[in-house]
Structure 1
Amino acid sequence: ADEEGGEKLGQSIRMAMKMIRENACGANVSSKKKKRERAIERAKEKLKKAEKKQELGPKIEQGPISMIYDPQTFAERLFSKLRTTKEAFSVRQLMMNVISRLVNEHCLFLLNLYPFLQRYLQAHVKNVTTIMSFLVQSCHSKIPPDVLEPIVKAIADQFVNDRSRPEAMAVGINSIRAICARQPLCMNATLLHDLSQYKDHRDKSVRAYLVSQTPISNV
């Protein structure tokens, strides 16, 4: 009787363990299935959103500079005010920035702008690097090379010479490089040859900057 009772108890335990394992496996399968279903639903929602965006077309972001009506006239009038204004220099800088961005964005022809900015290309002028960035910003491939050639020469004379500090030379070389990238024909052979001589400059930083940042090293 004791043996029969022991066998029945063992069978009961084995059956109970089997049921536990089956329930556990079933729970895991059910859990994985639910996760998979949720992932599929999320993927469907993303697909619907993507299709909806495609139907609406690409989102076009336009800044105020690109949306100005008759930008040529606007730039000419603003430049006229810039030449005669008595506002603080910081305000004039803002005007320079707007004008140069207009010229660049719409490929405008405002040829008097370049000699005007050239007046500020002096190493001692406050915020000269900012003004130089406006100058570079206003250059594009449609500007006649003979208009930009004096600008490039002025930068070289003021910043890239034996009397200039290495950091000033770096600013000058970088500005010349940027202008020539927009209008390559503004660099004449004589100036290119003169600049190439600085490949052997005594300051290592100038030599490294000239070689790494410009095609002058190939001359």
Structure 2
Amino acid sequence: MDWIAANWIEAVGYLGTALTITSSAMSTMIPLRIVSLCASVVVIIYGGMIGSVPVVLTEMIQIPFNAFRLWQMLRLVRQTEKAADGDLSLDWLEPFGTERRFKAGEVVFRKGDEASEMFYVKSGRYRVVEPDIEVGTGAVVGELGLLSPGNLRTGSLVCVESGTALSIAYSDVKQLYYQNPEFGFSFLKLTSERLFQSAGLNGGTALKPTADAI
């Protein structure tokens, strides 16, 4: 009977190893986190069977991190889908941004500058010089610079009333895009909607111009 128990212990260990290797080879984040969580559970069971505290402790530390990242990505996908279905708020990008403060009269970026980030306005007022558009709390500026030829700004943004804005680097957006195909598709739908808005079109109905295309 001892050899049967030993074989079961080895089988659990091999399963944990297989799941760990599988998660390392995966390129999309949500399946990777799910498989990593499963691998941690199996390895914890294995560590308990062989009485290895370090093995159990290591996996117990990893589980909260993987669980949090999984929750974060699932939340991101849900909120992006909501935005793509009509709610154009980009609050869901806040965890990935860096808060920056701007003073009245400060130029955030100029027409022709290289675009490497977009901004989510948390407070204050801003003005897009070309065309003359005022931007307030809750607005997003500069996300389409990611798609513009040469990644150049098509207008200048000036702070009119001191406030704060979240800076979200295009590199972070690209990373999320490539790591999660569902997020990428939803974000593509969202930016397409903004392109139609900036062109004043929405199923044949003109829309008020926004600063989102800058």
Q: Work out whether the TM-score is over 0.5.
A: no
Q: Which has the larger radius of gyration?
A: 1
Structure with the larger strand share:
2
Output the TM-score relative to the length of structure 2.
Answer: 0.24
Structure with the larger helix share:
1
Ranked by relative contact order (alpha carbons within 8 Å, sequence separation 6 or more), the top structure is 2
